[in-house]
Structure 1
Amino acid sequence: MHDTSAGPGASYPAEEARPARSPGRIPALWLALLAGPLSFGIAGPALILDDMALDLGVSVGSATWTVTAFGWGIAVGTPLMAGLLSHRGTRVALTTCGLLVPAGAILVVTIPALPSLVLGSALQALGTAGLTATAMSLTDSARRMGVVTASLAVVGSTAPLVGSLVTDLLSWQFALALPILSVLAVPAVLRRAPLGAISRNRFDPVGAALVTVLVTALVFIPHRPAAAGACSIVAAVLLGLHLRVRQDGFVPAVLVRTPQFLLSAGLAFSLAVVNFGLIYAIPEQLARHTGWTPSEIGVAMVWPLLLGGTLSWFVVAASARTDRRLITSVLIAMGIVAPVTAGFSVWSLVLLIAQAVASVAAASGQGVFAVHATSAVPDDHRPTAIGMFNLSYLLGVAFGPAIVSLLAA
């Protein structure tokens, strides 16, 4: 396990005890570029769905299937690509994901038809999910983990406006292809990537299939609650039974038997639900209580999200020298205060501050709790642990807006 000399909250070796440029150490900015563009696929289409629907001759609801496909791809791709990383090594994972992303981008740019756009979005999501999991697995300090998770938050805060600008300059198809920017980091990371696989266990196809079914069902719960909910329960039961037979399989039994991992993943999920729920709820509040236009609301939402992503780097970096219980308590408190404040306030500034607080909590929680989660499991399970942890966070991305819509109904 790791040396904890950096303090009571540390989960990585102290940075001072390590050479600044040890062989094979990948610069954090390359890891940030590898991970950050995933957020373009999540938030980039937010302001261009009307243009897409008009050009395709479909409803806006039908056009949102490209967003749903991307959400499905990152949710399914996160554990699957983490498994590939664990069993086949960093270089195979980088090469595979580095091919999936441009393949998807080519589809969305060259064929303006909804089925091609849905498939292309899913392929980009599978690839960027793997690149993000790889970037996080290659971090070796809380500070570097903070750089990676902050890049996701910062890109996500500007993605709607960037997508709109790219649409004005080129087309909405190029806006859908923005995740391809992550491929720019692949050659640099490949040159320093470690050789060989981490896990020596045989691949578990049954476990992988059950996880895929379970994640797919969970993603579709907001759209088909009854059917997807029933499928989720059945898949979860079957996966639990499979874990009793194959304890070193696709989902190692050690993960579900480690309270610290489960708690960290659950907290990350909860903070993501709050943050991404408010991203949808606060614009509605602003429209109701101000005279702002949708574009003015979009511009106003940039600063709290950007501030949250930027501050999260400092929070995650400081967590290595902060008591674990203290930082956890502060993040939980922020995750509670933000929605309560937004729910009872009618002032625009207070609403935007609530969004900033939620953004800081979620982006910081992704980094802090990722460190906590992975430090609790054996090193050879670290890539899988990161994949499952990120899956929990991404499910919060899907559930937050769905819960808001249910409450508003």
Structure 2
Amino acid sequence: MSAPVRARISGPWLALLAGPLSFGIAGPSLILPDAAAALGTGIGAVTWIVTAFGWGIAVGTPLLAGLQSHRGVRTAVLACAALVLAGAVAVTTVPWLPVLIAGSALQGLGTAGFTTMAMTLAGSARAMGLVTSSLAVVGSASPLIGDLVGDALGWRLALALPALSLLAVPATLRSAPGTPVVPSRFDAVGALLLTTLVTALVFVPHHPLPAGITVIVIAALLALHLRSRPAGFVPAELLRTPVFLIAAGLAFVLAVVNFGLMYALPPRLTGESGWTSGEVGFAILWPLLFGGLVSYVVIAVTAKTPFRAVTVLFPVLAALGLTLAGVGVSPAALLIAQALASLAAASGQGVYAVRAGDAAGSHRTAGMGLFNLTYLLGAAFGPAIAALL
């Protein structure tokens, strides 16, 4: 395992390394009709471009964290850069849906690794705040930016916006040679089981019964494997660390609420206000930006706050937002609800990541990978739950 790592790279570079991941999640939302028209297919088919990116970040988060643990930051950065570059080349040069889906998945894999590395290298609460707030801010502005890039340069270049993370690679590599690595035998079985488990979890909202059964079976096999390889790909010590489990669990819940409201509130706003979809998109941009920008300050201010206090603070903010969304009828109330949920999720992600990383100790890299995985699964489950409701 790699020793705990602290960054010699500045926070803004870490933010640039991580933030563009959000372009792949929300950036294509307004350009999918253009892609469908150009490819001569339906919206449902081109939506697989976004689904593939979601699969890539879910699977890539633990896998690339494992690569960093066993081969060090430099190797992991180069591997992620190769994945992102290959994906960007694919989506910009080959206008064929299967290639676009594969290219999006490659970008998801690479940017997931970049994000985990950025959070691992963050050496302070302020640096972690920059990383997580960059994800939130880019995520809130990415539909508008993707649409502008699509209009100016074409929808295929808009699909390659996650490649902006490559701009931070040289600065990250300059910090990499000093990263110590303790060689260990790679747990291929553990990696395969976790990858299969994550893949099944991603499909639970779409195919609940078969995916749910698969999740139960693979989870049981992984639990048995952990008994024989407690220091393997998934360190058993992390699963016995209460602070880590609580931090990851709360991050999952906050992500479910935030991303669920992001999909549930626009139709409500249209119905209550009569606004067009463009007006709704512009209106909801501001509460999302508010959450992302203010979270940087909140993360820095709460750096030394007792863990019990922050385990209450952010869930209460999310609960207030959820309640207001349920009872509110005016556009102002609904937008305030989204602002509270966004602030809770963006701030909670940063604060809980710091606590989870500290609790992980010598397993910090693996811990950050698993922590990010739980948050991203929450981002996938939230819209699905909103659709069911």
Please tell me the TM-score bracket, short chain as reference. Answer: over 0.9
Report the AA paired with residue 319 of structure 2. I
Q: Secondary structure at the match of 1:193?
A: helix
Which of residues 290, 296, 303 is equivalent to 1:307?
A: 290
Which of residues 369, 375, 380 is equivalent to 1:393?
A: 375
Partner of 1:381: 363
Report the AA paired with residue 16 of structure 2. L
- Distance, in Å, in 2 between the alignment partners of 1:195 and 1:203 is 22
Query: Does 2:5 correspond to 1:45?
Result: no
- Distance, in Å, in 1 between the alignment partners of 2:232 and 2:8 is 29
- Distance, in Å, in 2 between the alignment partners of 1:399 and 1:167 is 28
- Distance, in Å, in 1 between the alignment partners of 2:241 and 2:184 is 20
1:328-362 CA-to-partner distances (Å, cap 9, x unmatched) read 21101011111111011111011111101101100
Matches within 5 A, 1:58-77: 58-77=41-60
Task: Note closer, same or farther for the CA distance 1:199–1:224 as it changes in structure 2 (3 Å cut).
Answer: farther
* Percent of matched pairs sharing the same residue: 61
Q: TM-score with structure 2 length normalisation?
A: 0.97
- Distance, in Å, in 2 between the alignment partners of 1:330 and 1:137 is 24
Partner of 1:293: 276
| Counterpart contact for 1:264–1:372, Cα < 8 Å | yes
Query: Where does structure 2 lack aligned partners over 5 or more consecutive residues?
Result: none
Deviation at 1:323, TM superposition (A): 2.6
Partner of 2:337: 354
Query: Does 2:224 correspond to 1:255?
Result: no
Partner of 2:135: 152
- In proportion to residue count, which structure has more helix? 2
1:32-85 CA-to-partner distances (Å, cap 9, x unmatched) read 000000000001011111111111111111111001000000000000000001
Which of residues 206, 229, 237 is equivalent to 1:246?
A: 229
Q: Secondary structure at the match of 2:27?
A: helix
Query: Does 2:386 correspond to 1:404?
Result: yes
- Distance, in Å, in 2 between the alignment partners of 1:228 and 1:195 is 42
- Distance, in Å, in 2 between the alignment partners of 1:187 and 1:26 is 11
Which of residues 272, 281, 292 is equivalent to 2:264?
A: 281
Which of residues 301, 319, 322 is equivalent to 1:339?
A: 322
| Counterpart contact for 2:116–2:369, Cα < 8 Å | yes
| Counterpart contact for 1:89–1:195, Cα < 8 Å | no
Which of residues 106, 109, 114 is equivalent to 2:89?
A: 106
- Distance, in Å, in 1 between the alignment partners of 2:189 and 2:306 is 40
Which of residues 250, 254, 257 is equivalent to 1:271?
A: 254
- Distance, in Å, in 1 between the alignment partners of 2:265 and 2:292 is 18
| Counterpart contact for 1:41–1:176, Cα < 8 Å | yes
| Counterpart contact for 1:87–1:197, Cα < 8 Å | no
Query: Where does structure 1 lack aligned partners over 5 or more consecutive residues?
Result: 1-11, 14-23
Greater mean deviation of Cα atoms: 357-366 or 192-201: 192-201
Report the AA paired with residue 261 of structure 1. F
How many residues are paired up? Answer: 385
1:213-236 CA-to-partner distances (Å, cap 9, x unmatched) read 000000011111111111111111
| Counterpart contact for 1:88–1:197, Cα < 8 Å | no
1:100-148 CA-to-partner distances (Å, cap 9, x unmatched) read 1010001001111110010000000000001111111111111110010
Deviation at 1:303, TM superposition (A): 0.5
Query: Does 2:209 correspond to 1:226?
Result: yes
Deviation at 1:195, TM superposition (A): 3.6
Which of residues 70, 77, 80 is equivalent to 1:87?
A: 70
